[in-house]
Structure 1
Amino acid sequence: MTIRSRTTNDTPQLSSMLLGSTDPTRLRDWYVEAFGVRANEFSFLELGSFWVMPDGRDDVSATNPEPGRVVLNLNVPDAKAAVARMDTAGTTWVAPLEERHEAWFATGTDPDGNYVQVIEGKPEMDKTMRAAARKDWRNTKPFCGFAVNDTAVATTFYTDVLGLDVTEEYGLLAIWLGADDFVLAYPKEDHVPAQHTILNIPVDDIDDAVDSLVEAGVEILRYDGMPQDDKGIMRENGPDIAWFTDPAGNVLSVLHEK
């Protein structure tokens, strides 16, 4: 069965950066002390959802000759406390703590001379940012989820029968429909199947898809009043479609857009 996947957002996502240094250990330790962050198993400093890695390089100088080119902006809940920690860790202040518009700002340097700016937003700024975030929800990638009564059985079905990739983390299944698109399946002991189709899977050949399902022991559902043919495929009223259930009783479909 050939499944056609579609991605809806090809925009690159900035997730991390490297700070080239002649002494990455010293640089990493400074950020840990100055901001109370931790270095994870990959040696990245976890600054919220953004990761920074001090990386040893032999093509950089001991201090940054043009620190204004890249400035690390760190949002903090208490700018005064952040400034005090940076003082304790050791810094040279480029711009002391000051109030500007809707926030407090201060810019210091790390041991390599990179500019580090701390920002404490006031309620007015938080309100503005929340309003902007509400407008940006359309750029996110929502995903749906459904319950199953046995994740092990579900994994076997979705991988061996439907040919989809399934990954598991924290007892939850991510059923991948493409490189970036997935649905979430979660265990529920008192699971009751929904009375509607929870997942529609586009295929290139509806007959081949149905034949593959039947060969794997899957029963094609038939509904009274639906113009389904001998294979159980409805070939009228839109895309060709056939319905079946997963082992948990959830109704799925394979469909082919004409």
Structure 2
Amino acid sequence: MATATISSALLSSDDPARLRDWYASVFDAAVEHVGDEPGYDVVDLDGFYLMIDARDDVTGPAREPARLILNLEVDDIHATAARVDELGHGWLAPVEDRSGSWFGTATDPDGNLVQIIALSEAMVRDAQEASMTPFSGFAVRDVDAAAVFYGDVLGLRVARSDSGMLTLHLDRRTRVLVYPSDDHRPASHTVLNIPVADIDSAVDDLVGRGVAILRYPGMPCDDKGIMRGRQVGMGPDIVWFADPSGNVVSMLH
């Protein structure tokens, strides 16, 4: 059997802008317009792409919304639920605790059903162990400092295991293991590359949070410290900085 991976979904609506704005607001997601006018919008849900467009044969609310329910795992289900409440389209089933994991089924502006989920750390760990998805890793001197930096400063989803290691979730498919090392020495190369949608705003946010931008001889950078590779045909725009253990990390676009 051929291997298939579901990477996106398409929602059609007679008011695609309203639907787009709801998903972008509730899930704090970036939106990209694809194609020439009228084209369609894509909401980036952590690497899963929700495409929203208009069709002549689609009008009014969803007639059988339970036929297809989007399951979206979120970092902070209570903050997400608050945004659902604020935007006013209600719930089929309010958020509730089910044995340590949280579930709720919201209604979007067209009446489609969206289940938001926050799994317990134990369920996340069991799912990772069962899937055996390939992953990479690197060492740090202080796991607690790394958890704050990668979670609070960089905004990545960070899970901690019982053994004291961290798992960084770059998107729904990509994860990186971070483990402690008492005799840690930073590598001389970049240990982690993080794609971003807008490198200028990402750098502004980093600097605003007190992160120092690194500059290297022979790497022409602008005033922000960004090497504009796209302008000179040298690959992506990229910026480098260090985590609390001295590991070099980049953001690129």
TM-score under structure 1 normalisation? Answer: 0.48
Kindly name which structure, 1 or 2, has the bigger radius of gyration based on alpha carbons. 1
